[in-house]
Amino acid sequence: MQSIWEKEVRMPSFPCLDGDRKTDVLIIGGGIAGILCAHFLKKCGVEYCLVEANRLGSGTTGHTTAKITAQHGFVYHEIAGRYGLEAARQYYVANQDAIEKYGELCKEIDCNWERRDNYVYSVKNREKAEREMKVLERIGAKARLEECIPLPFATRGAVCFPDQAQMHPLKFLAELVKGLRIYENTKVTGFGGCTGAGARVVFTNHGRIVAKTIIIATHFPMLNKHGSYFMKLYQHRSYVLALKGAGSLPGMYVDEDKKGCSFRNAGEYLLFGSGGHRTGKNGGSYTELRSAAERFYPEAMEVCGFATQDCMSLDGIPYIGRYAKHCENVFVATGFNKWGMTSSMVAAMLLSDLIQGKKNEYEKLFSPSRSMLTGQLAINLAESTMNLLSFSKKRCPHLGCALKWNKEEHSWDCPCHGSRFSETGKVLDNPANGDLK
């Protein structure tokens, strides 16, 4: 279903590739991460081109709630526990810098940019909010604990990050893409070997591109052989309603529990989200979301509903950097854990530095080659094993897991890594790279 953003803005269109090309940097994926990379590389005078298999912004970017914040759930306590306080501080600063960079760009772009406070609340567990706050104080973050927030149910406290932001993601992108070298409806079909000069050949449905460096910004990374992304990512689906007549909230709000509710205003609408679940698993969905909306906002009218899904990393930190240890000159940006707006900006700033051979202090923190040993890895492996061994005639073309019928959205969904297919077998979400046979 079309999101509220897609109903309001038509993205500019670009031609498809028309024959073979050579470039220094090839960006694969025309979501906000890929487009921001293209923008920064152009500013630095690096030769690049971007290819998108469909239309720009047609994936997760067109279905985001577009909250721009350094507060990604209660992640700081987790990061400090796993990697230390300095890593938590770096995560905070990298994301705050990303917000400031958006602020600079949005001075020139009319995209409903608004500074708003962001709140992460807990419905059941005050201790979680308190321990998150303790870490934030220790790393010098601007944050405060709030007792009461204006939501239609009670909470046990919320952590507030002041002066974060929200915007219209497609109004922003529609301006940013002007003048960029982009080919739409150009699908990468394979990767060849290196040429003499260390450049790689990439095959598309409209010609070959020879590139010295490749950025893979395709939501779920498309190279299966390297990097073990099929073990270190899973996908989480979320649902949003745009409600008219639901009143106005001063800030942006989200539950620390991934299955909880999310709120922000967009003009006269309230964007109300809930019903999240691992893709391919039962639970939540529009039924839960609509029943919550009726309970909390009985007077409101539903203007539209839309869903999206996000790649979730093993430790709550995105994977941004070199694709894999032995994968020369291939970079990736993925695993944004539902915070794709801010993480995409972090990715574009970091990758444009690495590609130009500059040092970036956040390289180690976001490195995709960091340790995979987490509880989530065990869950991902168990889920994959169970679904590989399950009997089902419908098998996923990615790595062969059994597909599950999603009766709410009439799609075949894969619980292993989140590929989705329409009733007639057309691929809707990657990593699968083709339709069902």
Contact footprint for ligand FES (CB under 6 A): 230, 396, 398-401, 414, 416-419, 431-432
Question: Which residue carries 């009670």 as its tokens?
Answer: 154
Residue 112 is encoded by which pair of tokens? 């409903």
Distance CA 414, CA 148 (A): 40
Smallest separation, CB 419 to ligand FES (Å): 4
Query: Nearest approach, Cβ of 399 to ligand FES (angstroms)?
Result: 4
What is the residue whose two structure tokens read 């007077």?
299
DSSP string, 207-251: EEEEEEEEEE-SSS-S-SSSTTHHHH-EEEEEEEEEEESS---SS
Minimum distance of ligand FES from residue 416's CB (angstroms): 4
**Do residues 222 and 59 touch, judged by C-beta distance below 8 A?**
no
Please, which residue, 29 or 397, has the CB nearer to ligand FES?
397
Q: Coil, strand or helix: which one is 414?
A: coil
Strand extents, DSSP E, 62-169: 67-68, 114-121, 144-146, 158-166
For 179: left if phi > 0, alpha if psi spans -120 to 50, otherwise beta; the answer is left
CB of 71 to ligand FES, least distance (A): 30
Smaller CB separation from ligand FES, 191 or 230: 230
Q: Give whichever of 89 and 417 is closer to ligand FES, judged by the CB atom.
A: 417
Measured from the CB atom, the residue of 59 and 418 that comes closer to ligand FES is 418
C-alpha closest to that of 260 among 145, 408, 125:
125
Q: How far is the CB of 433 from ligand FES (least distance, A)?
A: 10
Nearest approach in angstroms of CB 372 to ligand FES is 17
At residue 280's C-alpha, the angle toward residues 274 and 284, to 5°, is 25
Instruction: Provide the pairing of β-strand 427-429 with 420-422.
Output: antiparallel
How far is it, in rounded angstroms, from Cα 118 to Cα 129? 14
3-class DSSP state for residue 406?
Answer: strand
- Nearest-approach distance from CB 242 to ligand FES, in angstroms: 29
Nearest distance, CB of residue 435 and ligand FES, angstroms: 13
Contact in structure between 181 and 40 (CB atoms under 8 Å): no
| Closer Cβ to ligand FES, 233 or 270, answer by number | 233
Cβ proximity to ligand FES, 96 vs 384, nearer residue: 384
Going by C-beta distance under 8 Å and a sequence separation of 6 or more, which residues neighbour residue 184?
13, 14, 15, 16, 30, 52, 54, 55, 56
Pick 33 or 396: Cβ nearer ligand FES = 396
Q: How far is the CB of 232 from ligand FES (least distance, A)?
A: 13
Select 29 or 73, whichever has its Cβ closest to ligand FES: 29
Distance CA 169, CA 8 (A): 11
Between residues 213 and 430, which has the closer beta carbon with respect to ligand FES? 430
Q: How far apart are CA 240 and CA 304, in angstroms?
A: 8
Closest contact distance (angstroms) between CB of 431 and ligand FES is: 5
The beta-strand segments (E) located in 72-227 are 114-121, 144-146, 158-166, 182-183, 188-194, 200-204, 207-216
Judged by beta carbon, residue 246 or residue 332, the one nearer ligand FES is 332
For the CB of residue 279, give the shortest distance to ligand FES in the complex, in Å. 9
Strands 182-183 and 48-51: parallel
| Minimum CB–partner distance for residue 432 and ligand FES (Å) | 6
Between 289 and 414, CB nearer to ligand FES: 414
Give the helix/strand (H/E) hosting 70: none
Nearer to ligand FES, 330 or 396 (CB): 396
